[in-house]
Amino acid sequence: MKDHLRSGCLITAFSILLLPRAGAQPSASSQSATLIHCGTVIDGVSAVPRKNVVLRIEGNRIVSLSTDRHGSPHDGSTTIDLSNATCLPGLIDVHVHLIKEDAEHNGLQAKSLSEENLHKTLHWGFTTVRNLGAGSLGPADVDVRNAVADGSLPGPRLKIAICCENPKDRNFGVHGSAELRAAVDRRINEGSDWIKVYGETSPPPPGVADRDNKLQYSEEELSAITDEAHKKGVRVAMHTMGGPDSHRAIVSHVDSVEHGVDIDDADLKLMKESGITYVPTMFVITYVLATPGGNDNALWADRLKRNFDTFERAVKAKVKIAFGTDYPAKGWSSNPAQQFHLMVSHGMAPMAAIQSATMEGARLLGMEKQIGSIEVGKLADIVAVEGDPLADVSRLEHVMFVMKDGQPVDLSHE
């Protein structure tokens, strides 16, 4: 990375083309300013990239964007030369399970167990993630999220849903609208940023198709969950596989449908009209299929085929799609950015795929004012790749520069 980090004097006549908008607080001192010279910028919102853009970072914010690359400001700022690279907003994966817990030790080991996943994810360029369930020991999620937020644990910024990968504890362990509302309140009081709900009671037993799996909740119960969460300003993500549970999620006004292997056209239309976000997690299925032994390959191959079909129809129907992978479910350890290639090879434009992992992810998380784009006033979460990711989206699997909150991440330690 050292080649890209140079102190000093690349830029003089620094012309600010975009002034900080109201509310942004540029620092009076330029001592801590960092200038990033990007050969190309894909900003997360614009339809086309821009060439030769200088980003000025003060503290943890982007304070200006300029196209004037000549000279030096002589103000002691640091220059990062990415003039041969494409800069993008920090990537966002809205469906991960990277917080690990040790049930034997009541969650206390969560930070050290999660460290490797957090490190890898940040080094792959994901600067914000939503963790949708860590196990059955909720407070560990809160500890890990807060430790990252206060800077004591390196990793991507976290939003968490305190939830349960343990089937026995799925869905709060209660039924009935009143009890479910109380359970939602408890989760929120414990510090959950999101409510995660499972559509079915469990993965379908062998021989039972996703669409025939038993639904966990009535529409009335699900509506009680979403209504209670929304009243408290908290959003709801629902795990669905077959068409019936996807339908029930959509008519109950969840905010995101997770996995969504089967969603029929009428429900996709409803998602589009209601502004519900689809989070297809195809990469985890390809991973399971590529892993020898232990899996019902015919079932997973069928799921993958149906998931691609749903995804292609969702793209055509212009449903909001946010990038989420389920990393590292089923024990995979490779870069979740491989999902970009799957999305593009199944009908999504490369720019839309990038925006699904930047601005669309930020919108789903309710963080569109802080992250998701390279714009004045936003947090300085920036990544860079060599070459043109619009021509070859797999370049996003090889991030060469990561900045989170205005601080470059040292990528030399793998």
Cβ proximity to Zn ion, 262 vs 326, nearer residue: 326
The minimum distance between CB 249 and Zn ion, in angstroms, equals: 14
337 secondary structure, DSSP code: T
Q: Which stretch binds Zn ion (CB under 5 A): 26-34, 86-94, 325-333, 403-411?
A: 325-333
Instruction: Please identify, using beta-carbon distances, which residue of 328 and 372 lies nearer to Zn ion.
Output: 328
Question: Torsion-angle region of residue 372: left (phi > 0), alpha (psi -120 to 50) or beta?
Answer: left
Which residue lies nearer to Zn ion by CB, 4 or 196? 196
Cα–Cα distance for residue pair 308/199, rounded to 1 Å = 20
Edge-first strand order for the sheet with 126-131 is 91-96, 126-131, 157-160
For 77, residues 6+ apart whose C-beta sits below 8 A from its C-beta are 8, 30, 31, 33, 34, 35, 56
CA distances to 28, 54, 157, 224, 405 from 59, in Å: 11, 16, 17, 43, 8
Nearer to Zn ion, 364 or 409 (CB): 364
Cα 313 to Cα 80, 254, 267, 280, 360: the distances in Å are 42, 20, 11, 12, 18
Residue 33 C-beta-side C-alpha neighbours within 13 Å: 24
- Whose Cβ is closer to Zn ion: residue 4's or residue 97's? 97
By CB under 5 A, which span of 218-226, 318-326, 363-371, 404-412 interacts with Zn ion? 318-326
CB of 261 to Zn ion, least distance (A): 13
The three-class DSSP label of residue 267 is helix
Which stretch in 216-224, 245-253, 303-311, 319-327 sits in contact with Zn ion by CB under 5 A?
Answer: 319-327
Residue with tokens 């309140």: 185
| Dist CA 198 CA 208 (whole Å) | 17
With CB atoms as reference, the residue minimizing the distance to Zn ion is 326
Nearer to Zn ion (CB atom), residue 42 or residue 163: 163
Q: Which stretch binds Zn ion (CB under 5 A): 32-40, 314-322, 323-331, 347-355?
A: 323-331
The nearest distance, CB 408 to Zn ion, in angstroms, is: 31
Residue 187 Cβ vs Zn ion, minimum distance, rounded to whole Å:
17
Q: Which stretch binds Zn ion (CB under 5 A): 184-192, 322-330, 342-350, 352-360?
A: 322-330
Q: Which is nearer to Zn ion, 43 or 101 (CB)?
A: 101
- Residue closer to Zn ion (CB basis): 93 or 326: 326
Q: Does 228 bind Zn ion (CB under 5 A)?
A: no
277 is written with which tokens? 């976000």
Confirm or reject binding of residue 326 to Zn ion (CB under 5 A). Answer: yes
Q: Least distance from C-beta 115 to Zn ion, angstroms?
A: 20
Within 27-56, the residues that bind Zn ion by CB under 5 A are: none
Nearest distance in Å: CB 132, Zn ion: 5
How far apart CA 260 and CA 249 sit, in angstroms, is 10
Contact between 385 and 399 (Cβ < 8 Å): yes
By C-alpha distance, which of 251, 259, 250 is closest to 308? 259
Site size for Zn ion, by CB under 5 A?
1
Closer of 188 and 279 to Zn ion (Cβ):
279
Least separation in angstroms between residue 360's CB and Zn ion is 18
Shortest Cβ distance from residue 332 to Zn ion (Å)? 12
Shortest Cβ distance from residue 136 to Zn ion (Å)?
Answer: 15
What is the rounded CA–CA span in Å between residue 388 and residue 396?
9
DSSP-assigned beta bridge partners for residue 79: 6, 35
Q: 89: Cβ–Cβ under 8 A, 6 or more apart, which residues?
A: 43, 44, 358, 359, 371, 372, 373, 374, 378, 381, 382, 383
Distance between CA atoms of residues 398 and 379, nearest Å:
22
93 contacts Zn ion (rule: CB under 5 A): no
Residue closer to Zn ion, measured from CB, 134 or 362: 134
Give the shortest CB-251-to-Zn ion separation in angstroms: 22
Tell me which residues touch Zn ion (CB under 5 A).
Answer: 326
